[in-house]
Structure 1
Amino acid sequence: MAQILVIDDEPEVVRFVERALVGDGHDVATAYDGAVGLGLALNEPPDLVVLDLVMPGVDGRKVLRALHGARPDVGVLVLSAESDVGARVEVLEAGAVDFLGKPFAIRELLARVRARIAASTHGVGHDDVLRVGQVVLDLQTRELRIDGRAMALPEREFLLMRYLMRRADRVCSREELLAEVWGYAFDPATNVVDVCVARLRHRLRSDVIRTVRNVGYQLQSG
């Protein structure tokens, strides 16, 4: 059972989503404005936040930025009527793990929630630590270690690093990374992959992630 927080100022939408998530076996908390929702998310961090963008007062963008800054381990699925490419790119680059436009099919929302929950927990158990060369990734703590330095990774950087490390020395295309790490079956005209790789390179202070021109990226083992 996952702990999910729904933040939306439309009571009908909140009740609709809450019923569906509870019926799917999740424990659900709700908030009807951004300030209350952000407080709940920070005080009792859920496994996933389902967040509307357009709300009075503290809107969804402010909630996303504040939550991602304070608790980058908490995934945020944005659910919004602002579904143009610009809005999608903006929230993905701000740290959201997924985006679904309104109106939406509840089956798709449930599928995306299951995928996000599975992605955040997959691999913990028999394979708790990944090692590629001098890079070590702890799958339980999400801590990245290299050259005596240790750092906790935000959600998206962790998922990307885990994917690349499990495919060390193999070239992964941007389309593949968008599909497997971001959950997109199409290219939403965004450079989120490149931005996320740049952040990882900055943390690593190393060139172990190689750019393969016009294709994608490769994590090198040696």
Structure 2
Amino acid sequence: MKVLLVEDEVKLGEYIKKGLTEAGFIVDHHLTGLDGYHALMTDEFSVVLMDVMLPDVSGFELVRNYRAAGNNTPVLFLTAKDDLSDRIKGIEIGGDDYLTKPFAFAELIVRIKSLLRRANQADYKSSVMHMADLKMDIAKRTVHRGDTAIKLTAKEFALLQFFLERQGEVLPRSVIASQVWDINFDSDTNVIDVAIRRLRIKIDDGFDIKLIHTVRGMGYKLDALDTSTDTSISISGDDLK
């Protein structure tokens, strides 16, 4: 899951990003409100961590405009101000939670998981996704094909979730690298191909309907009806670790 962190305190931002990355999140960190707002409006995130007192524009104002544009991604405000009036204002303008600095990292993780759980409960369809006999339950972190349970690594789970969210679309390697690995794609690396090959072995091998397809020269897609594209991948080098 991808988290947007807008925090101008460099050391605190690096600390939060490191901890969340180790917890399995992809973190996009910005130091200014304007950079954070640009990311908000041009990318997709599971949750937003927004500092209130930014050097260029208030986090409150950014979230107010974000909500006015019709966006409902959960927002957790981070601030050194603990006045009741500020907490009320943060909720009234569209924030979902409010955490006062300094805070324990364990509490931040709990707050984020709570926001994600509430978001899934509000829209159950976003928590459980299907294609043919493939079922992924994001909240329970389970994957099945029919009655067969499939065990995936954290990265394989994130990759399959991305495919399901964009099912039927041809996804270039550069997009997959950015959204799942949070890296710029290097055409000389086979990281993406190796990861998809491993996922395909678990998802497709032994099943009549093949779901993961290679579109030559373009990328990959998840499609239960597609039988015209090549499903082979040439792998060289060491396996992905």
Shorter-chain TM range is 0.5 to 0.7
C-alpha deviation, 1:4, in angstroms: 0.5
C-alpha deviation, 1:72, in angstroms: 2.9
Alignment of 1:47-66 (within 5 A): 47-66=46-65
C-alpha deviation, 1:68, in angstroms: 1.4
C-alpha deviation, 1:75, in angstroms: 1.3
Q: Distance in 1 between matches of 2:33 and 2:78?
A: 14
Aligned length: 127
Q: In structure 2, do the counterparts of structure 1 residues 70 and 100 end up closer, same or farther at CA, with 3 Å as the change threshold? A: same
For 2:35, the aligned partner's letter is V
- For 1:95, the equivalent position in structure 2 comes to 94
SS in 2 for 1:50: strand
Larger mean CA deviation between 75-84 and 58-67 belongs to 58-67
For 1:54, the aligned partner's letter is M
Q: Is the 8 A contact 2:50 2:77 kept in 1?
A: yes
Q: Is the 8 A contact 2:120 2:127 kept in 1?
A: no
For 1:59, the aligned partner's letter is S
Q: Distance in 2 between matches of 1:61 and 1:126?
A: 27
C-alpha deviation, 1:71, in angstroms: 3.9
Q: Given the alignment of the two structures, is residue 118 of structure 1 paired with residue 121 of structure 2, yes or no?
A: no
Query: Normalization by structure 2: what TM-score?
Result: 0.50
Q: Given the alignment of the two structures, is residue 73 of structure 1 paired with residue 72 of structure 2, yes or no?
A: yes
Q: Distance in 2 between matches of 1:94 and 1:37?
A: 17
Gaps in structure 1 of 5+ consecutive residues: 129-222
Gaps in structure 2 of 5+ consecutive residues: 129-241
C-alpha distance after superposition, 1:126-165 (max 9, x if no partner): 999xxxxxxxxxxxxxxxxxxxxxxxxxxxxxxxxxxxxx
Q: Distance in 2 between matches of 1:115 and 1:126?
A: 16
Q: Is the 8 A contact 2:120 2:126 kept in 1?
A: no
Q: Distance in 1 between matches of 2:125 and 2:32?
A: 37
- For 1:10, the equivalent position in structure 2 comes to 9
- For 2:21, the equivalent position in structure 1 comes to 22
C-alpha deviation, 1:98, in angstroms: 0.3
CA RMSD of aligned residues (A): 1.9
- For 1:152, the equivalent position in structure 2 comes to none
- For 2:168, the equivalent position in structure 1 comes to none
For 2:57, the aligned partner's letter is V
**Bigger RCO (CA 8 Å, 6+ sep):** 1
Q: Is the 8 A contact 1:42 1:71 kept in 2?
A: no
Q: Is the 8 A contact 2:63 2:93 kept in 1?
A: yes
Q: Is the 8 A contact 2:30 2:36 kept in 1?
A: yes
- For 1:163, the equivalent position in structure 2 comes to none
For 2:124, the aligned partner's letter is V
Alignment of 1:84-163 (within 5 A): 84-122=83-121, 124-125=124-125
C-alpha deviation, 1:45, in angstroms: 2.6
Larger mean CA deviation between 43-52 and 31-40 belongs to 43-52
Larger mean CA deviation between 118-127 and 90-99 belongs to 118-127
Q: In structure 2, do the counterparts of structure 1 residues 125 and 20 end up closer, same or farther at CA, with 3 Å as the change threshold? A: same
SS in 2 for 1:58: coil
C-alpha deviation, 1:117, in angstroms: 0.9
Q: Is the 8 A contact 1:65 1:94 kept in 2?
A: yes
Q: Distance in 1 between matches of 2:126 and 2:49?
A: 30
C-alpha distance after superposition, 1:159-194 (max 9, x if no partner): xxxxxxxxxxxxxxxxxxxxxxxxxxxxxxxxxxxx
C-alpha deviation, 1:66, in angstroms: 1.2
Q: Given the alignment of the two structures, is residue 39 of structure 1 paired with residue 47 of structure 2, yes or no?
A: no
